[in-house]
A and B are shown apart, each in its own frame.
Chain A
Amino acid sequence: MKQIPDKDIIIFKSCLITVEYPGIESSTKYVFDKLGIEYKILEDQTCCTGLGHYSDVFDQFTTSVLGARNFSLAKKYNQKHFVMMCATCYAINKKVANILNNKSEVREDINEIFKESNLEHLTYEKGDIDSTKNLFHVVDILYKKKDELSKHIKYDLSDFKIATHHGCHYCKVHYDDTIGGYRNPQILDELVEACGCETIGFYDFKRTTCGSGFRQRYANKDLSMDVTKDKLQSLKEDNVDILVHLCPNCHVQFDRYQNYIDDDCKTIHLNIAQFIAIAMGADFNKVIGAKAHTVPIESILTDLKEVE
């Protein structure tokens, strides 16, 4: 398995987490702190462009210019690794690193733009950031520490029926780097199990996209909701209480639109960092960010019992 760091980490901020589910960021920090993972969060990092990129507005070159600028922050802050909370940030940044390292003409064009803009300190040199060795998703870091999770667990969540939704841009884009498989993805199931719970494992449409489809949610809403409904129906048939996510865009699609699609679905939606933080005893308002959720997490998570 790839080498996974527990220090020299920059947590890469996500636009959707910032404005839709800020509790994912605070929960990630909370869990990393408990596990002794050293990290920085930078105010001068900008968005990966992902939503605009996959709505076809930001072309690959533009996305790569802004990506190279973000990568320059590793040197500036003397850190080696970026850890993404969002599956699309993860896929975008890995793609940009591969382009910058392997397509020398593109790298030279981008460095020329930095020079023309009097921003030569942003210059990218081949190999500055390696897609596999320096770019990770939060789940990768948690996976490395999964055997240490149990000693921090305060609440027993094993009575809830739990399923997992693995974001496509974590599993399927750079699939050679995906931990836990991408045809039958398991990493979230293994992390939930490390908290003393079981998941329902495989279910119909487990591998299917959330249905946001970036532009589809807005320009082609019926198509988008049809795809989401496939998965929701399956979760409903299995009476799932909690769907565990690793991507804020999937999270928006399910939590915001669940009742729009089917008022009868009662599943709540938690990012894996929120799930673990809850199991560790984190406060719903000060850490988990419960107020951001459309399907109230308190509708399922009441009277939590402590681990015996």
Chain B
Amino acid sequence: MKNSKSNNTYEIKIEDSPLSLAEDIINDIKFSKEKGLLKCVQCGMCTSTCPAAQHSNYNPRDMIERVLEGDKTILEDDDIWNCFYCYTCHSICPVGNSACEINQILKQISISEGKADEKLKPFLGFADSYYSMAIGAIPSNFFEEISEDVPGWWDFRMKLEDIREELGLGTISPPQEVVDEVSTLLDKCGFKKCIDKIREADE
């Protein structure tokens, strides 16, 4: 954009549209707050009630400021990965914005640009367990650490089938044809491609 005064004393040049990042967020499938983002007055209520802000450097107010300034370095900011997804900010924002949803969307943009493979790798087991059992409980790569931290947990897990039987509950996983059906859907919607890409980048 060029803006010249009649006497040509100064010229302002803005190369990019500063709101393009905000517009991408507003148009994202996840965003439910329509123009709430653009109404942010930087009051800081989000940060003052945020558990991650109390215990780490994450600052949702600052994240929103940077989004509105079109500062795309926010996509590579490690602190945004500290959000708990507790939605406290979402539930109390006086102008109806949702820092929590915006945080999730920023991460998805970061992931789609291939900038967050390291953040996703420990959690790819959720994809595997959906493909094998159509349920997404805690992935097995965490079992060893849980066993160390939680005495008795592994013994319980070993007895899970018996305990479920005693409680009169059905099988853990749906029937194989259901697992096959959701696997087909996961392939078709591009999910498998994303997961494979992250795994290939790792090899």
- B86 within 8 A of partner (CB): yes
Contact B137 A19 (CB under 8 A): yes
A123 at the interface (CB under 8 A from B): no
- What's the Cα separation between A276 and B125 when bound, in Å? 35
A81 contacts B by Cβ under 8 Å: no
* Residue of A whose beta carbon sits closest to that of B156: A292
Q: Which of A22, A61, A209 contacts B163 (CB 8 A)?
A: A22
User: Judging by beta carbons under 8 Å apart, are A256 and B146 in contact?
Assistant: yes
Flag whether B114 is at the interface (Cβ < 8 A).
no
Chain A min CB distance to B85 (Å): 5
Which residues of A lie under 8 Å from residue B191 when comparing CB positions?
58-59, 62
Cα A220 to Cα B78 in complex, Å, equals 12
Task: Assess whether B175 is in contact with A43, with CB atoms less than 8 Å apart.
Answer: yes
Smallest CB–CB gap between A148 and chain B, Å? 24
Task: Kindly state the separation between the CA atoms of A24 and B108 in the bound complex, as whole angstroms.
Answer: 33
Interface residues of A in 92-116 (CB under 8 A from B): 95, 98-99, 103, 106, 113-114, 116
Q: Is there contact, CB below 8 Å, between A213 and B86?
A: yes
Q: Contacts of B152 on A, CB cut-off 8 Å?
A: 294
The verdict on A245 contacting chain B, using a C-beta distance below 8 Å, is no
Across the interface, do B29 and A99 meet the contact criterion of CB distance under 8 Å?
Answer: yes
Chain B min CB distance to A22 (Å) = 5
Q: Is the CB of A168 within 8 A of B123?
A: no
Dominant SS among interface residues on chain A: helix
Contacting pair B85 A214 (CB below 8 A): yes
Instruction: Give the CA-CA distance A291 to B159 in the complex, in Å.
Output: 9
Which residues from 75 to 121 on chain B have a C-beta closer than 8 Å to any C-beta of chain A?
81-88, 90-92, 104, 107-108, 111, 116, 119-120
Q: Which residues of the partner chain B approach A260 to less than 8 Å between Cβ atoms?
A: 149-150
| Chain A residues within 8 Å of B149, by CB | 256-257, 260
Which of B32, B86, B150, B188 sits near A113, CB closer than 8 Å?
B188
Docked-complex contact A43 and B174, CB < 8 angstroms: yes
Which residue from chain B places its CB closest to the CB of A214 in the assembled complex? Answer: B85
A172 with B123: CB separation less than 8 A: no
Most chain A beta-carbon contacts within 10 A, residue among B51, B88, B149: B51
| Bound CA–CA A218/B137 (angstroms) | 13
Complexed CA–CA distance, A26 and B91 (Å)? 32
Q: Are B169 and A213 in contact (CB under 8 A)?
A: no
B145 — which chain A residues lie within 8 A by C-beta?
A: 218
Docked CA distance A105–B166 (Å): 47
B55, B136, B157: the one within 8 Å of A15 (CB): B136
Given contacts A62-B191, A168-B86, contact A226 B55 (CB under 8 A): yes
Point out the residues of chain B lying under 8 angstroms from A227, CB to CB: 51-52, 54-55, 84
Interface pair B178/A117, CB less than 8 Å apart: no
Residues in B with CB closer than 8 Å to A215 are 81, 119, 122-123
A134 within 8 A of B: no
Asked if A172 contacts B126 (CB within 8 A), the reply is no
State whether the Cβ of B45 lies closer than 8 Å to any Cβ in chain A. Answer: no
Q: Does A57 contact B127, Cβ atoms closer than 8 Å?
A: yes
Q: Using Cβ atoms and an 8 Å threshold, which residues of chain A touch B195?
A: 57
Q: How far is the CA of A113 from the CA of B123 in the complex (A)?
A: 25
Whether B127 and A52, one on each chain, are in contact in the complex, defined by CB atoms closer than 8 angstroms, is yes
Output the least CB separation between B56 and chain A (Å): 6
Residues of A within 8 A of B164 (CB): 18, 22
A143 within 8 A of B: no
Contacts A52-B130, A54-B85, A285-B166; A173 near B185 (Cβ below 8 A): no
User: Is B91 within 8 A of A66, CB to CB?
Assistant: no
Nearest A residue (CB) for B167 = A26
Chain A residues with CB under 8 Å of B119's CB are: 56, 215, 219
In the complex the two chains form, what is the Cα distance from A303 to B181 in whole Å? 49
Find the B residue at minimum CB distance from A212.
B84
A216 close to B (CB within 8 Å): yes
Interface hits, B143-195 → A, CB 8 Å:
145-146, 149-153, 156-157, 159-160, 163-164, 166-172, 174-175, 178, 181-182, 184-186, 188-191, 194-195
Question: B43 contacts the other chain (Cβ, under 8 Å)?
Answer: no
Known interface pairs A65-B189, A175-B91, A215-B122; 9 further A-B residue pairs with C-beta atoms within 8 A, sorted by A's residue number: A20-B137, A47-B137, A52-B123, A58-B130, A95-B32, A183-B92, A216-B84, A256-B150, A294-B152
What are some 14 contacts across the A-B interface (CB < 8 A)?
Answer: A56-B107, A56-B116, A57-B124, A58-B136, A60-B30, A169-B87, A172-B88, A173-B91, A209-B51, A216-B84, A218-B145, A220-B81, A256-B149, A292-B163
Nearest 10 A/B pairs, CB to CB: A52-B126, A213-B84, A209-B86, A172-B91, A172-B87, A46-B134, A15-B137, A55-B123, A47-B135, A26-B167
